[in-house]
Amino acid sequence: MSVRRPDHRRPGSAGDDPTGGATIIPTDMPMGGGTIECDVFAQDCKGADEKCTAWAEGGGGAWNATKCVKETGKKIAGDVCTTEGGGVSGMDDCAKGNMCWNVNDKNEGICVALCKGDAKAPICPAEFQCAIANEGVLNLCLPECDPLLQDCDGTDLCIPSGDKFICVLDASGDNGKQNDPCMFANACDKGLICLNTTAASTDCMKAATGCCSPFCDFAKQDTICPKGTECVQWFDPMMPIPPGLEDVGVCAIPA
């Protein structure tokens, strides 16, 4: 799963790309690993006043490394926060075990809790799901949601993460319409998901990494899907499906 920071040169923000757990495998983009100085789960920095944080080593808009920084504030999940040097600097006034998320062009965002436990058994509060992203440098407790209702706050998108669906930032900007090319799962408008070109509509640009396709209700079959696709069940029907998500489908080329 890959996460890209908000780009304030255009409308919209950024979020997550899911991996695995579904019959339609969403697109992903190799991030290029940076220096892993500490563990965001273990918070194993040596200094008592330090915290382990994700940041974008080498510039760019994607978190790809971790480092130990001084804990400069005590703000917790839900509090308004401020960063130093932008949304991917790793420098903010959230307490250890939290990070500043959805940062705007004024360097202000909201503290989000990091997952506890470890990558194999992450722990988040009830009704939150651990989103492990960007080759493990991000581990965020994000709200669970229903992709058919798209019931996330504001413009946030409801997209898959493992066997759950979570609320993430909208990175579609001026693009993200049906059949538009995309590189991240959250690079599509609300109600759409970035699918691999082998699963997307025949109108999808074959040179693209992926294309935006609608979620649909598999039980009702009431969505008009793009040319060459039909509403197929998101989860493999031969495997256990998470309760309440049996009807989740996506417009895709049938296998």
Q: What is the pLDDT of residues 30-69, one digit of tens each?
A: 445 789 999 999 999 999 999 999 999 988 777 889 999 9
Percent of the chain with pLDDT over 70: 87
Q: Out of 29-43, 63-77, 93-107, 216-230, which region has the weakest mean confidence (pLDDT)?
A: 29-43
- Integer angstrom CA distances of residue 59 from 40, 65, 85, 112, 169: 20, 11, 11, 23, 21
Query: Which pLDDT does position 61 carry in this prediction?
Result: 76
Query: Which pLDDT does position 73 carry in this prediction?
Result: 97
The answer to whether residue 25 scores a pLDDT higher than 70 is: no
Residue 92, both tokens: 């903010």
Higher-pLDDT residue of 11, 156: 156
Most confident among 11-25, 27-41, 70-84, 177-191 (mean pLDDT): 70-84
The answer to whether residue 115 scores a pLDDT higher than 70 is: yes
Q: Give the amino acid at 92.
A: D
Q: Out of 4-13, 187-196, 198-207, which region has the weakest mean confidence (pLDDT)?
A: 4-13
Q: How far apart are the C-alpha atoms of 239 and 134, rounded to whole Å?
A: 27
- Where b means 16+ CB within 10 Å and e means fewer, 199-227 reads bbbeebeeebbbbbbbbbebeeeebebbe
Show the 3-state SS of 89-128.
CCCECECCCEEEECCCCCCEEEEEEECEECCCCEECCCCE
CB 128 within 8 A of CB 142: yes
Sign for the pseudo-dihedral over CA of 197, 200, 205, 211: negative
Q: What is the pLDDT of residues 149-182, one digit of tens each?
A: 999 988 889 998 888 899 988 888 888 999 999 8
The answer to whether residue 4 scores a pLDDT higher than 60 is: no
Q: How far is C-alpha 193 from the chain's CA centre?
A: 11
Q: How far apart are the C-alpha atoms of 63 and 173, rounded to whole Å?
A: 19
The answer to whether residue 128 scores a pLDDT higher than 80 is: yes
Query: Which pLDDT does position 63 carry in this prediction?
Result: 86
Phi and psi torsions of 134, nearest 5°: 50, 55
- Integer angstrom CA distances of residue 50 from 53, 118, 138: 9, 19, 17
Q: How far apart are the C-alpha atoms of 238 and 217, rounded to whole Å?
A: 18
Q: How far apart are the C-alpha atoms of 118 and 133, rounded to whole Å?
A: 13
The answer to whether residue 102 scores a pLDDT higher than 80 is: yes
pTM attached to this predicted model: 0.77
Q: How far apart are the C-alpha atoms of 227 and 225, rounded to whole Å?
A: 7
The band of 16, judged by pLDDT with boundaries at 50, 70 and 90, is very low
Q: How far apart are the C-alpha atoms of 137 and 144, rounded to whole Å?
A: 21
Q: How far apart are the C-alpha atoms of 194 and 191, rounded to whole Å?
A: 10
Q: Out of 15-19, 73-77, 202-206, which region has the weakest mean confidence (pLDDT)?
A: 15-19
CB 250 within 8 A of CB 230: no
Q: Which residue shows structure tokens 């940076």?
A: 34
Q: How far apart are the first and last CA of the chain?
A: 23
Query: Which pLDDT does position 24 carry in this prediction?
Result: 23
The answer to whether residue 2 scores a pLDDT higher than 90 is: no
Query: Which pLDDT does position 205 carry in this prediction?
Result: 74
Query: Which pLDDT does position 32 carry in this prediction?
Result: 55
Q: Out of 21-30, 157-166, 184-193, which region has the weakest mean confidence (pLDDT)?
A: 21-30
